[in-house]
Chains A and B, each alone.
Chain A
């Protein structure tokens, strides 16, 4: 028995088993409360600072896109050759030495005898108010964003859903159609459309309709292929559920988070496509303005009047970054794997 550790008999006293914290019994079990999924998602989204800032930026831009064009009192297409190429002048801020309407110390407004006129963003080379034009352009960009989401949600989701759920020959044919469509470059589609249609919003929407939903339909198809073999779908089938019930009540809610993320992700792409088409002259025609045409026009006189390109580019960049931030935030908020952790 030598060398054996001394055996201490365990004696349990009354206070041997006490709760670690004094108010341990009163902890509210948040984890198991009847919180709805959406409440939880909003809670997680608001925890993400970048996403909230992005959301706020988008909301501010939307507000300005709605009221901006009415603020300055100038119309977006009113040409005034006596007021061309004015630099920004904003009341109040002009005293700080910025946005005071001067180039190298020379007051452009005074030169033209416009002492009490203010162009917040200046004017372009046709004398049109850039403030109005920038926000009319933002309207168009946001409209394109909305259209892109709707196209994604409607065509992309329905196409992917049918293709994935019914499978077999239906899937085979539908996937070959997608391959053919995605094989044609976007620019070729738009150029061909130009032969038939005039350049304009409709053409851009048609171009988006033709190709923009392919990514979404592939995503939805992949999700449906995975989900339709899940036991809860089989359970619904064994209960006698119809195809429609299974698709809308069992499968669709489970794809919703990735659909929302994908739609949000496709917005910057769509806005960029519109701007790009307008920039190369295939988009919105003059005198209509979009962020793309504004950048395109301003770029021509960038060395002399940098504000003409800087302002729409800044707004465009803020819009793109904000949508990306919100999409990222939504992905994190909706990702079910986060829930397990």
Chain B
């Protein structure tokens, strides 16, 4: 991987060759994440896309250490947060990285008041001196996510899906994290509510200059919110780059297939939309053999030399001299 044009100062999170396997039984192991490397810059939104089972959620959960990785390193602002766990590291992660969960119904404890759910992180790490300070913090965060302070003493079942997701966001934001992992944070919501929540996330990013790792499978939403995108398939990061690079110049056949599946709002265009088929088994591509190739800017593709020349030769426009055959 060529990192020559990357300023180390700007890197918030660096994931290096991350591996995580689930041992189903003694003979069979699922390689959920198999050697994924990427970086996230300070203040940006990195979108992680891929079909279900591609390892998106697993990567997110490995970074925040819900799962223990089987290999590879994760650095947060130059500090390693992978490897053996201890209390200090746990606290460091909790204070800097937070997560927003997919299911707003399941991610809130039905037996707890909203105020106690939001203040959970403060309670665990004793980050308040007086009761008043705790209440103040809860009220401030409730207003920030668009809820009212009267709602602090209610229970999760008294809220709608969008409101519950706001509570989930409040729980993450109250810790003032530098990185928020939004694990399919909008997938379970109504489309109109999705826009509200995405705009809320953007607002919070502007105010607190938070960085997002945005995990999703809705490509239009990812295009809207992300600065850079990583495309995952079967535990491999097949292509990564800025949103323009990925959407304007997709190189990997899987990315092309994924982008071709986006429905178009205009029914006339939608009628003539062709879906590119992609089948890993029959494509002859072996992700294990591929290495990350630098294209341009921040655009990288996982491929072997031959595959890369094959994929780039039909491309017109941005391809450089000598590459087109």
Contact = CB atoms under 8 A, between A and B. Distances in A.
Pair from one complex: yes
Interface of A: 31-32, 34, 37, 230-232, 234-242, 245, 250, 253-254, 256, 336, 339-340
Interface string B118-130: 0011001100000
B124 A32 contact: no
Contacts of B158: 31-32
A239 B120 contact: yes
Nearest to B117: A232
B203 interface: no
Given A34-B153, A231-B101, A254 B109 contact: yes
A254 B64 CA distance: 25
B175 A239 contact: yes
Given A31-B158, A239-B120, A239-B121, A234 B66 contact: yes
Interface string B98-114: 11011100111111100
- Interface residues of chain A: helix, strand, loop or mixed (majority): helix
Contacts of B111: 37, 253-254, 256
Contacts of B124: 236, 239-242, 245
A336 B153 CA distance: 19
Contacts, number: 67
Interface stretch (B86-94, B258-266, B309-317): B86-94
B15 to A, nearest CB: 17
B94 A254 contact: no
Interface in B154-180: 154-155, 157-158, 168, 171, 175
A234 B175 CA distance: 16
17 contacts: A34-B153, A37-B155, A232-B107, A232-B109, A235-B107, A235-B120, A236-B120, A237-B66, A238-B64, A238-B94, A238-B98, A240-B91, A240-B94, A241-B124, A242-B124, A253-B111, A256-B111
Q: Which of B65, B102, B111 has the most CB of A within 10 A?
A: B111
B108 A232 contact: yes
A242 B94 CA distance: 12
Nearest to B154: A34
Contacts of B125: 240
Contacts of A235: 99, 101, 107, 120, 168, 171
Contacts of B65: 238
A32 B156 CA distance: 11
Contacts of A234: 61, 66, 101, 107
Contacts of A232: 106-109, 117
Contact of B94 (A34, A37, A239): A239
Nearest to B64: A238
A25 to B, nearest CB: 18
Contacts of B154: 32, 34
Interface string B47-90: 00000000000000100111000000000000000000000001
A250 B112 CA distance: 8
Q: Which of A34, A253, A340 has the most CB of B within 10 A?
A: A34
Nearest to A253: B111
Contacts of B107: 231-232, 234-235
Contacts of A254: 109-111
Nearest to B101: A231
A3 to B, nearest CB: 30
B127 to A, nearest CB: 11
Nearest to B89: A240
